[in-house]
Amino acid sequence: MNEDESEMAEAYAMLRGFELTGELGAGLNGRVWKVRGNSKRAWALKIQDAHGFRLERDCYERLGELGVTEVAGFNVPVLIHADDHWRAIEMSIVDRPFIVDFAQAYLDSPPDFSAEVWEERMKTWQSRYEEDWPQVQRALRELEGLGIYYLDVHRGNIAL
């Protein structure tokens, strides 16, 4: 990812009165840092592109409104704070098993993919999880029941 995200994260942390204590990960839509405030309690900060930010913020807001902290046995982060100007999401850090990174999810209706595209995605996702695929499928179905169509299916985002 680019230096702008690091600079934004540093500036945002200073504004909010906490410090970045290390990077937790990076992906197509942004970067995630571990942060700590005065209470010494750690949480995560994600700075990302505008499109990914809106999707992820909306998914975490939906999960929060419904009181969801786990899906089919997978922990999901809890939204702590979102800032539209900074494209920043502050969220809890979760232990395995987890589902994270909702920046490519769709809300309320699935993407308009052809049957062939869906079939190919399912084959790819299944190959990534092998014997764990039924558990991942349950989580995806449960998310769909909440109106969240999760598309970034890989072991870094859905981890057992």
Q: Could you please report the per-residue DSSP string of 69-107?
A: SEETTEE-PPEEEEETTTTEEEE---PSSEE---TT-EE
Strand, coil or helix: 151: coil
Query: What total number of domains does the chain contain?
Result: 1
CATH of the domain at 57: 3.30.200.20
Task: Please write the tens of the pLDDT for every residue from 42-55.
Answer: 999 999 999 999 99
CA atoms within 13 A on the CB side of 15: 10
Tell me the residue range of the domain where 129 lies.
3-159
pTM for the whole structure: 0.93
Task: Please write the tens of the pLDDT for every residue from 8-38.
Answer: 999 999 999 999 999 999 887 889 999 999 8
Interstrand relation of 148-149 and 19-26 (parallel, antiparallel or unpaired): unpaired
Mean pLDDT of 144-148: 98
